[in-house]
Chain A
Amino acid sequence: MRAVKRDQKTRIALTLNGRKLAAEAEPRLLLSDFLRHGLGATGTHVGCEHGVCGACTVLVDGVAVRSCLTLAVQAEGREVRTVESLAAPDGALNPLQAAFRDHHALQCGFCTPGILMSFTDFLARTPHPSEAQIREVLSGHLCRCTGYANIVEAIKEVASSSHAPRSEG
């Protein structure tokens, strides 16, 4: 049984984008803050901290979740994946990212990392979803810039092609 007192910092070890990392945190620290300010993975964004906007979405053990509604201590021993993991080491965009660029599916780009992570999970489970399914998953994200249409188009393109992304890795 793990027990951490309120003022006590505990070491949290996890795998972030394939690399084993650890840092200290109090029990109340949100995973979003831990990733951004503790581990320096600033690609994950924070837009509401109450679970509505979806900007903070990351994969924990392959599953898309709100990192603002997750405590850092809960990520102990888990595999966390963030947007920084999507492109190849040489910077080449993966098919989902490339589709976003090709369809002008982002403007300010602040909502984008969360959306990419949601669909990294969803397309791995449902490689060829219908447009209605895409919209259903996308409705878990707020974007203020694009009006969403181009995001739907980008995801449709990936969904209709053979290379839907995989969640492991």
Chain B
Amino acid sequence: MVSQATKTQRKEDASLLSGRGRYADDLPVPVGTLYAHVIRSPHAHAGIVRIDARRALAHDGVWTVLTGEDVRKLSDPFLAAVKTPVQQWSLAVERVRYVGEPVALVVAESRYVAEDAAELVEIEYAPLPAVIDPVAACAKSAPLLHPQAGTNEVSLREFRYGDTNAAFSRADRRIAMTTTFPRLSFTPIECYVVVAQHNAAENSYDVTANFQGPFSMHPVMARALRVPGPKLRLRIPPDSGGSFGIKLSVFPYIVLMALAAKITGRPVKWVEDRIEHLVAASSGPNRVTQIEAAVTNDGRVLALRLDQLEDYGAFLRAPMPGPLYRMQGAVTGAYDIANVDVINRAVLTNKMPASLIRGFGGPQLYLALERLMHQIAVELDLDPLEVIRRNLVPAQKFPYRAAAGALYDSGDYMRAVAIATGGGRLDELKRRRAAARVQGRRYGIGFAAIVEPAMSNMGYLSTLMSQEAREKAGPKSGAVSMATVNIDPLGAVTVTADVTVQGQSHETVLAEIVANALGLRPDDVEVTLEMDTAKDQWSIAAGTYSSRFASGTAVAAHMAAAQMREKLKAIAAKQLNVLPDDVELAGGKIRSRSNPDNALPFGRVAATSHWSPVLLPESMAPALSETAAWTPPELEPPSHDDRINTSLTYGFVFDMCGVEIDPVSYQVRVDRYVSMHDAGRILNATIADGQIRGSFAQGVAAALYEEFTYDEEGAFLTGTFADYLVPTVSEIPEVEILHYESPSPLTPLGAKGLAEGNCMSTPACIANAIADALGVADVALPATPRRIHALLERAGEAGER
């Protein structure tokens, strides 16, 4: 580990280390709370013929059993991003479409009793043929999940950027490949938790849940519950046991438990268990990409064609098909490629619905793009690194407008690659590969160069509509971030912001930013990030996702703190008898810059505003409360020709690794891994490296271990932690993290996102190394021993060595 970051002590840690965290299941519940258990479909596809809950209702301690019919009566279907005749509810209505789909809800005095009663509910199903494979699901003869939609391929759009056809006809070669990115989830260790209450007198709901955002889902939930927004008060606890995108998808359960509270007249609590979580919580979408490049003989890519078929499972839930479009503007990755045609297709199959997940569209895109770059090198007999270098966006072209519309704000990719491959690192990898190969061992080197977007444009998803449809729907763009700084009568500073917390150290970073602006120590600043939609500042962009913190909320906090500083300066100037320009905040004091002895304690100035507002400068608003909202102008709506600047900042990641295939176990062992990040200005080095290591571990998991496996009939085969293989410390290799900083000119702090990069780059990098080790093109992920064995068997080499 080269980068040993300077030590930070996080504000969050003392509580979390002492068992004093406040996670959703730790909070007290109202007296009389009931507990719910979800009955789930054992079938991948079936009609619901009959549900008989009489025996369950007769069981001691059971309050009610909800079915799809109740839900249909009491709520409206969820709004979706793609207009189709498909209706989706919080319980299956008439039909089940995946194993694990919620069919009924038992509400009882305890979870134990609810589970007992669930075994007494009789449900008769009429099985239907299921379709699991996304390509098969597109066939005309495929069973339809939603017959009223007339097709499983519910969204299709074609895009042309530049003149791809001309480039293909002038190219020396065409090189193509197909990649499949698997289904997986980053399964936080804490599962979903919902506690819902209903006030019949006001027909209002009060729900506590470990929801992560985006808060664009709040109107979706309120609409489903048939209430105006303020009648659905949603509270997010101060701590949450990880999310990684997954805790967006608690939203159908928020609605379901709210309905259960309404029916029973009691608070209803539901804690998802691990089995439920694995079978039905959420998954990243699997994707089949056909990608083709027009290349010159020296490896320069002139144009790309992509056909991206993404499998969203049984429903396209809002904000899907986000992963297909989140990377749209940056579809050419780190490369200077002027022409690209893209076909985006979203298909439904009999699997659990896919949704948000760390990386969000990046891993799928880069597996295709980076495997293709490697394959170009193989077919042209060039060095893969050389092919990457020849195509990287050159430093002098920044800010760089990518073919599909992304505005890459800053970077020097060549420099970053040179640093990473230098210092003897690449030579060492090559030495190790040569030595292994001499001994007959299978060793390969892989590379991946990617662009990591952060802070999504709220308008990117409208790219899936035609220009005419967009005009009708009204413009969508931008991304609002908000933060508030308050100061109390004794000068204590508190900060709130529009993020939810799942371990990203937001408290620590916000305290540093605000303390810095006010001349205080981070310990002087309290940050409260539990969220209450009835009382906190929020917009539809609120929440923690798409790496919006560093380029978004952190900026808003910086701005709010600066506003506060200016206000304090003005107040103090009057008391110090100097001009505001001569006032500075430092060391807990507010003083004259030219005469530092002329100073007031920070708290004293604050007190003035509270106790003697009349002493404040004229025309100044009295309260010491400053809120800043920030939305960057660069996040414009899609252009008439579908170009879209999908994100505000674009970082760069370059990875290289050496892997060896174990000749006995067929396990891929990562021997060396180097990861270079340009995330603009690093806000906190310790936390940055922590995020990168976590993301790297998840990238390794996607490359080698984790997959939601279904058989051909749609049975789910990875329903426990014994089958769904989350890596332990023994499976995660070391990673050498390097940094190169090109501050973003588009955000006041210069910071970009960095927590998703390795989820995007690492699967591709490891896949390339495996391809190099085995000399094969067709590397399916996760590259399990079983798959590696099959590859070698096909090559007739399994038994040897």
A64 interfacial by beta-carbon distance below 8 Å:
no
Task: Contact check, A147 vs B732: say whether CB atoms are below 8 A apart.
Answer: yes
Answer whether residue A125 sits at the interface, using C-beta atoms and an 8 A cutoff: no
> Interface 1/0s, chain B 241-253, versus A by CB < 8 A?
1101000000000
Does B10 lie within 8 Å of A144, measured CB to CB?
Answer: no
Q: What residues of A have a CB within 8 angstroms of the CB of B631 in the complex?
A: none
Given A52-B722, A142-B721, A142-B728: A111 and B189 interface contact (C-beta under 8 Å): yes
Q: Does A107 contact B (CB under 8 A)?
A: yes
Q: Contacting B241 at CB < 8 Å: which of A50, A110, A141, A148?
A: A110
Q: Please measure, in the bound complex, the distance between the C-alpha atom of A109 and the C-alpha atom of B244, giving whole angstroms.
A: 14
Docked-complex contact B721 and A53, CB < 8 angstroms: yes
Q: Is the CB of A109 within 8 A of B697?
A: no
Q: How far is the CB of B15 from chain A (nearest CB, A)?
A: 8
CA distance A135 to B729 in the complex (A): 6
Q: Chain B's nearest CB lies how many Å from the CB of A17?
A: 10
Instruction: Identify which of A48, A82, A109, A140 contacts B17 (C-beta below 8 A).
Output: A109
Q: Does B694 contact A (CB under 8 A)?
A: yes
Instruction: List A contacts of B20 (CB < 8 A).
Output: 43, 84
Q: Of residues 53 to 112 in A, which have CB atoms within 8 Å of B's CB atoms?
A: 53, 55, 82-84, 86-87, 91, 93, 97, 100-104, 106-112
Interfacial chain A residues near B14, Cβ < 8 Å: 91, 93, 101
Give CA–CA (A113, B18) in the complex, Å. 8
Cβ of B112 within 8 Å of any chain A Cβ, yes or no, is yes
Assess the B730–A139 pair: CB atoms within 8 A: yes
Partner of B190 from the list A45, A84, A86, A101 (CB cut-off 8 Å) is A45
Q: Are B189 and A82 in contact, with the CB atoms below 8 A? A: no
Q: Least Cβ distance of A110 to chain B in Å?
A: 3
A36 smallest CB distance to B (angstroms): 7
Q: Cβ of A141: which chain B residues have Cβ within 8 Å of it?
A: 728-729
A106 B273 Cβ-Cβ under 8 A: no
**B336: interface (CB < 8 Å):** no
Residues of B near A53 (CB, < 8 A) are: 189, 274, 721, 726
A50, B239: Cβ atoms closer than 8 Å: no
Q: Which residue of B lies closest to A68 (CB)?
A: B274
User: Which one, A44, A87, A104, A144, contacts B186 given CB within 8 A?
Assistant: A144
B595 at the interface (CB under 8 A from A): no
A15 within 8 A of B: no
Give complex CA distance A36, B271 in Å: 13
- Minimum C-beta distance from A166 to chain B (A): 18
B617 within 8 A of partner (CB): no
A87 touches B112 (CB 8 A): no
B499 to chain A, nearest CB (A): 14
> Within the complex, which residue of A41, A83, A107 is in contact with B694, where a contact is CB–CB below 8 Å?
A107
Which residues of chain B from 1 to 25 have any CB-CB distance to chain A below 8 Å in the complex? 1, 7-10, 12-14, 16-21, 23, 25
Which of A86, A101, A102 is most buried by chain B, counting CB atoms within 10 A of its CB?
A: A101
Q: How far is the CB of B357 from chain A (nearest CB, A)?
A: 12
Is the beta-carbon distance between A43 and B18 smaller than 8 angstroms? Answer: yes
The yes or no answer to B505 lying at the interface (CB within 8 A) is yes
Taking a contact as CB atoms under 8 Å apart, the answer to whether B18 and A28 are in contact is: no
Q: Is A151 an interface residue (CB 8 A)?
A: yes
Q: Kindly list chain B residues whose C-beta atoms are within 8 Å of the C-beta of A151.
A: 729
Contact of A87 among B18, B691, B696, B697 (CB under 8 A): B18
Known contacts A83-B19, A107-B505, A146-B697; 4 additional CB pairs below 8 A are A28-B112, A43-B19, A101-B10, A108-B242
Q: List 9 A-B contacts (CB under 8 A).
A: A43-B20, A48-B274, A110-B241, A136-B730, A138-B728, A139-B729, A142-B721, A147-B693, A147-B696
